[in-house]
Amino acid sequence: MQTNFSADQLRDPDTESSNQVLRTCVHCGFCTATCPTFVLLGDELDSPRGRIYLIKDLLESGRPATEEVVRHVDRCLSCLSCMTTCPSGVNYMHLVDHARTVIEQTYRRPWHERLTRSLLAAILPYPGRMRLALLGAKLVQPVARLLPHGVLGSRLRAMLSLVPARVPTPSALGGARTHRAAGAKRIRVALLAGCAQEVLDPGINDAAIRLLTRMGAEVVVAKGAGCCGALTHHMGRHADGMASARANIAAWIDDAEGFDAIVVTASGCGTTIKDYGFMFRSDPVWRERAERVSAMALDISEVLTRLDYVPTRPAPGLTVAYHAACSLQHGQKITAEPKALLRRAGFKVVEAAESHLCCGSAGTYNLLQPEIATRLRTRKLDNIRRTKPNLIAAGNIGCLTQLAGDGIPVVHTVELLDWMAGGPKPAVL
């Protein structure tokens, strides 16, 4: 694609990076067929190619974002399905991240959107605040239908519908500490405690800690590490996302003994941590440390494969519909490992039709775009139901929350692997 940036504009490293991305696109349109919003809405401007044109015009013009650009970029899930499909290797993730930052800096949203986004950014990355917010939401849930109609009311109802039936108590294994390997130590890893997952389902990291230590890993939840930064980064709040990333990099790199890997059980976070090197590419102070962290980051399924996971219980006779989180299959290109591990653990693994399409979770998307998110959830669950599974497994807390509540138990892959290797049976089964 031809671009027309001035030399002055290209001195900005973000614009220079986006210029390279834009020039890679040959506007063939292959990506449109696998884009969830184009599949649902059928509007070229809600396809990757349409958004690429809108972003190109936004960046080249140097003018504030228009309502039209914001509407179509906001509808993008950042699912990255288009990156898997694109034959030219267009890095849409970096382009849309840049566009979201420019929108945040130049566009004044209506007051209710500013309020919603500010609340999400102030609550979700902080486990203590999020727990309080969930407990408060439980009190409001019974009167949700009395909320006013209109955009704000429907957003609030969407948020309340995602509040779990029970707010879990904090984990006994949680907090910053070191978990010793059982037997001889084979590897020393940092485990990302994260933010929302720690509140919504602390059992996921508990399962990872039990399983990893049993397999000879020393697992460290580092003091000072927390939210990966993705939640705010994908809302265009660049400075907030970078601050979270910096805190994690410092916590992991400053560890005196060093780590063989940084293990992540929420694939949305893993995709962002693996991108820290790019995010700090123009920062002479942080770039090298950020690159080291990105190089060490591994999804839990990658670590368990490398450590040669072996189950100890007999096959449970259960059929698992494996739901591939977008951040895992498109963001990190991890497709085989989770399914191979589940099969090794004795489960029958099935995959639903349209497994490349997002379930509608996408970070804060199901809170900010509830109508499209609900349509994608329904479509996903309809496809999954046709495989007649006993349960659904996925590797990302957002997907687990989005798909829960439809009668089919939803479990993180690592909880199933831990169960089959001597851990407790997941509570939802």
Contact call for residues 243 and 229 (beta carbons, < 8 A): yes
The only residue of 80, 196, 293, 397 in contact with ligand SF4, by rule CB under 6 A: 80
Nearer residue to ligand SF4 within complex by CB, 21 or 163 = 21
Nearer residue to ligand SF4 within complex by CB, 90 or 399 = 90
Taking the complex as a whole, how short is the minimal distance between the CB of residue 309 and ligand SF4, in angstroms? 31
**Residue type for 144, please?**
A
The only residue of 76, 212, 303, 321 in contact with ligand SF4, by rule CB under 6 A: 76
Q: What is the DSSP string of 257-277?
A: S--SEEEESSHHHHHHHTTHH
- Please tell me whether residue 173 binds ligand SF4 under the rule CB under 6 A: no
Binding track, positions 211-250, relative to ligand SF4; x by CB under 6 A: ----------------------------------------
Considering only the stretches 72-80, 123-131, 332-340, 394-402, report the one whose residues sit in contact with ligand SF4 under the rule CB under 6 A: 72-80
Instruction: Map tokens 């108590």 to a residue.
Output: 169
- Please tell me whether residue 130 binds ligand SF4 under the rule CB under 6 A: no
Residue 47 Cα to chain centre, angstroms: 21
Taking the complex as a whole, how short is the minimal distance between the CB of residue 234 and ligand SF4, in angstroms? 11
Nearer residue to ligand SF4 within complex by CB, 22 or 219 = 22
**Residue type for 301, please?**
S
Among 97, 135, 132, CA closest to 231: 97
* Positions in 9-68 near ligand SF4 (CB under 6 A): 25-31, 35-37, 48-49, 51
Binding track, positions 81-120, relative to ligand SF4; x by CB under 6 A: xx--xx-x-x-x----------------------------
Nearer residue to ligand SF4 within complex by CB, 44 or 351 = 44
Taking the complex as a whole, how short is the minimal distance between the CB of residue 356 and ligand SF4, in angstroms? 9
Q: What is the dihedral of CA 63, 66, 69, 70, to 10 degrees?
A: 110
The only residue of 55, 58, 70, 79 in contact with ligand SF4, by rule CB under 6 A: 79
Q: For residue 173, what are the CA distances in angstroms to 169, 170, 194, 319, 389? A: 12, 9, 14, 30, 31
Site size toward ligand SF4 (CB under 6 A) is: 25
- Please tell me whether residue 331 binds ligand SF4 under the rule CB under 6 A: no
Taking the complex as a whole, how short is the minimal distance between the CB of residue 74 and ligand SF4, in angstroms? 11
Locate all alpha helices (DSSP H) within 229-334, ordered by sequence: 230-233, 238-253, 267-273, 276-279, 287-296, 300-306, 326
Cα gap 158→139, rounded to integer Å: 15
Cα radius of gyration (the chain): 21
Taking the complex as a whole, how short is the minimal distance between the CB of residue 285 and ligand SF4, in angstroms? 31
Q: For residue 295, what are the CA distances in angstroms to 36, 259, 292, 299, 399? A: 30, 11, 5, 12, 25
Taking the complex as a whole, how short is the minimal distance between the CB of residue 362 and ligand SF4, in angstroms? 8
DSSP label at residue 331:
I
Cα gap 127→241, rounded to integer Å: 16
Nearer residue to ligand SF4 within complex by CB, 293 or 357 = 357
* Positions in 409-428 near ligand SF4 (CB under 6 A): none
Phi–psi pair at 267, nearest 5 degrees: -65, -25
Nearer residue to ligand SF4 within complex by CB, 78 or 396 = 78
Give the sheet arrangement for strand 319-322, strand by strand: 348-350, 319-322, 391-394, 410-412
Chain contacts with ligand SF4 (rule: CB under 6 A): 25-31, 35-37, 48-49, 51, 76-82, 85-86, 88, 90, 92
